[in-house]
Structure 1
C-alpha cells in the first residue's frame, strides 16, 4: 500500500489537527477525529474549541457542544453541525472559506468572513458578517476569490432553504 498523497488523508481514522486561518493569521487550531475522507469531502468531529460560551443571539456555543465539520477540497465553504453535549441538534454554522487543504494530518481552512446559519428545524437561515467581508478588502485584493465567496454564500443559502441541504451532508 502506498503512502497517502499530500492532499488525501489516510483512510477515515485517527486524529488530525484543524487549522482555521483568517486574514493570513491562524485564528484557531484544534485536534479533531477524522470521520471520513472520500477525496473530495473531509469530515471531522471535535468538541467546541473555544473557552467559555459564545452567544451569537440566535445560538449559543458552549463547552460540551460537539461539532461535526464538513470541509470540501473543491467548494468554497465548510458546514459545521452543532450539537449540545446531550446530543440535541442546535443547527449548522457554515463558513465561507477557500477550498480546504489536507496535508498529512493537518487540515487547513481559510475563512473569508462570510457565514451562514441554519437552525435545527430549517426554519431560520441567516446570512452573517457581510459587513466584515466588505471591510476585509478581498474584493479589491483578490476579486476572483471575492466572487467565488459570494457565489458560495448564495449557493449555500439556496441549499439551506430546502431539503437539498441534508443531502449535501450525507
Structure 2
C-alpha cells in the first residue's frame, strides 16, 4: 500500500506480546524503499530516557522498516534542534488500511548527537525468560540489536540523515 507524502496515518505501538500500548496520529514523510517515515508530535508529558528528554512540542520523524526488525525515531526540539535518535528492536512494521502497527521487542537504543550510544532494557529481555521459552526468538532479538548498533555506528539509513 503506497501513500503520498503528507498523508495522515494512525500509528499503533504493540508490546512484545501484541497488546496495544500507544496510539497516535502522524503524517507520511519521504523514505527509502522498504521503509515508511512518519512525522508525529510528542503528545505526552516530559519523559527522560537515558540521556534523551522528550518534551511537549517535540517533533519526531519515525522510520519504520517493513523488512528489518528495527525502527528509529529522530527527535527534534520545537526550534528544530536535533536532540538524538531513539531506536527500537521491533518486528517489521505493517500497514492495515490507514494504520501502521509496530511491535516493540524489549531492547531500545539511544544515539546522542555527540555519538554516544546507550543500550536500554536488556534486563527486561532477560526477565521475560524468552531465552528459555523461545531461544530462536531471543537470538533474533540479540542479532537485531547488533545490526541496529552497527547501523548507528556506521550511520547507515536512516541514521545518516540527522546528527
TM over 0.5: yes
Alpha-carbon contact 1:82-1:92 (below 8 Å) kept: yes
Quote the Cα distance in structure 2 between the aligned partners of 1:159 and 1:95: 12
Higher mean C-alpha deviation, range 142-151 or range 52-61 = 142-151
Alpha-carbon contact 2:5-2:27 (below 8 Å) kept: no
The aligned counterpart of 2:26 is 32
The aligned counterpart of 1:109 is 102
In the TM superposition, what is the alpha-carbon distance from 1:120 to its structure 2 partner?
1.4
Q: 1:19 aligns with which of 12, 32, 37?
A: 12
**Is 1:149 paired with 2:148?**
no
Quote the Cα distance in structure 2 between the aligned partners of 1:100 and 1:92: 18
- Residues 57 and 150 (structure 1), Cα distance of their counterparts in 2 relative to 1, 3 Å cut: closer
Higher mean C-alpha deviation, range 135-144 or range 74-83 = 135-144
Cα deviation 1:41-81 (Å, max 9, x = unaligned): 0100000132x100124121110110000001110110000
Q: TM-score, with normalisation over the residues of structure 1?
A: 0.86
In the TM superposition, what is the alpha-carbon distance from 1:111 to its structure 2 partner?
0.2
In the TM superposition, what is the alpha-carbon distance from 1:169 to its structure 2 partner?
5.3
Alpha-carbon contact 2:61-2:74 (below 8 Å) kept: yes
Quote the Cα distance in structure 1 between the aligned partners of 2:136 and 2:112: 30
Quote the Cα distance in structure 1 between the aligned partners of 2:131 and 2:91: 14
How large is the RMSD of aligned CA atoms in angstroms?
Answer: 2.0
The aligned counterpart of 1:120 is 113
Quote the Cα distance in structure 1 between the aligned partners of 2:32 and 2:81: 27
The aligned counterpart of 2:122 is 130
Q: 2:48 aligns with which of 52, 55, 64?
A: 55
Quote the Cα distance in structure 2 between the aligned partners of 1:98 and 1:115: 13
In the TM superposition, what is the alpha-carbon distance from 1:109 to its structure 2 partner?
0.3
The aligned counterpart of 2:38 is 44
Mark the runs of 5 or more structure 2 residues left unpaired by the alignment.
none
Number of aligned residue pairs: give it.
Answer: 161
Mark the runs of 5 or more structure 1 residues left unpaired by the alignment.
1-7
Quote the Cα distance in structure 1 between the aligned partners of 2:131 and 2:43: 30
Quote the Cα distance in structure 1 between the aligned partners of 2:128 and 2:42: 26
- Residues 57 and 125 (structure 1), Cα distance of their counterparts in 2 relative to 1, 3 Å cut: closer
Quote the Cα distance in structure 1 between the aligned partners of 2:84 and 2:159: 15
